[in-house]
Amino acid sequence: MEKILNEIEKKALTFIRNQIMYGDRKPSLRNLMNYLGYKSPRSASLIVSSLIEKGLISRDDITREIRINYFKNIKSKLVNIPLVGAIACGKPILAVENIEAYIPYEVKGDPKEYFFLRAIGDSMDKAGINDGDIVLVKKQQNADPGDKVVALIGDEATIKIFKQDNHKIILEPRSLNPVHKPIYVFGNLQIQGKVIDKINFDN
């Protein structure tokens, strides 16, 4: 029998699994409460109880630790998207050895066309991308002016605003920090994809 989840349950289930797979903390009612934006653990507890009733998670009677049971037969479009590092080290970003974890997420189209990348630094904070954010990227080799792109310059991946002036490509930061300046690229540039969303694990 399929398990039908509402949007809050999907979000909670994704957070719990991410904490188990990737986070430094074990999932708890309090950090789930913070993630969902609730003011009381009671609200988070009701979500957890619903997921337990649907057989998707369980809780240890003694430690109260939340555990994932399975993700099969869930009526949702969650798929595992690879999380890769911020530096490609001269290799394609999506090389198998660069994959750190998989994050369940809902995407449109072929899941193989997407990957997550960890943002480092504050060069895009005015564009809503802060240090430590996990950004969702759709693979593509071309970009339109104004797109937030993941560009590979030499052996380093960077997230910037794509601009083009005749034959000159400009990777422009959007930052409150004046130290960040536009990057003018005349060669050795690979567009890896376009940033279309972000998540974080700081809640």
Tell me the two tokens of residue 141. 């080799």
Asked which of 85-99, 122-136, 166-180 is least confident by mean pLDDT, the reply is: 85-99
Q: How far apart are CA 166 and CA 187, in angstroms?
A: 14
- Active-site position among 3, 123, 138, 148: 123
Against a cut of 0.75, is the pTM above it?
no
Q: Domain locations in the chain?
A: 3-75, 78-199
- Identify the helix (H) or strand (E) that includes residue 189: strand 189-199
What is the rounded distance in angstroms from the CA atom of residue 84 to the CA atom of residue 42? 35
Annotated catalytic residue, options 3, 138, 148, 160: 160
Check residue 88 and give its pLDDT. 47
Is residue 160 part of the annotated active site? The answer reads yes
User: Hey, what are 93's tokens?
Assistant: 């970003």
Pairing of strands 148-153, 189-199: antiparallel
Interatomic CA distance for residues 36 and 56, integer angstroms: 18
Q: Read off the amino acid at residue 41.
A: P
Q: Which helix (H) or strand (E) holds 15?
A: helix 7-21
- Give residue 22's pLDDT: 58
Architecture of domain 78-199: Ribbon (2.10)
Predicted confidence band of residue 195 (pLDDT cuts 50, 70, 90): very high
**200 or 8: which leads in pLDDT:** 8
Neighbouring C-beta atoms of residue 9, cutoff 10 Å:
19
Q: What pLDDT, on a 0 to 100 scale, did the predictor assign at position 1?
A: 42
Q: What is the pLDDT of residue 86?
A: 66
58 belongs to the catalytic site: no
Please tell me the predicted confidence (pLDDT) of residue 162. 94
Range scoring the smallest mean pLDDT among 10-19, 60-69, 187-196: 60-69
21-30 per-position pLDDT tens digit: 655 556 778 8
Cβ atoms of 83 and 103 within 8 Å: the answer is: yes
HSE of 83, CA atoms in CB hemisphere, 13 A: 19
**How sure is the predictor about 149, in pLDDT bands with cuts at 50, 70 and 90?**
very high
Percent of the chain with pLDDT over 70: 83
**Cβ(117)–Cβ(124) below 8 Å:** no
3-75 placed in CATH 3.40.630.30: no
Cα dihedral sign for 65, 71, 77, 78?
positive
Cα separation of 82 and 21, whole Å?
12
Pick the range with the lowest mean pLDDT from 4-8, 91-95, 120-124, 128-132: 91-95
For residue 202, pLDDT over 50 is answered with no
Query: pLDDT class for 174, splitting at 50, 70, 90?
Result: very high
Q: How confident is the model at residue 89 (pLDDT cuts 50, 70, 90)?
A: very low
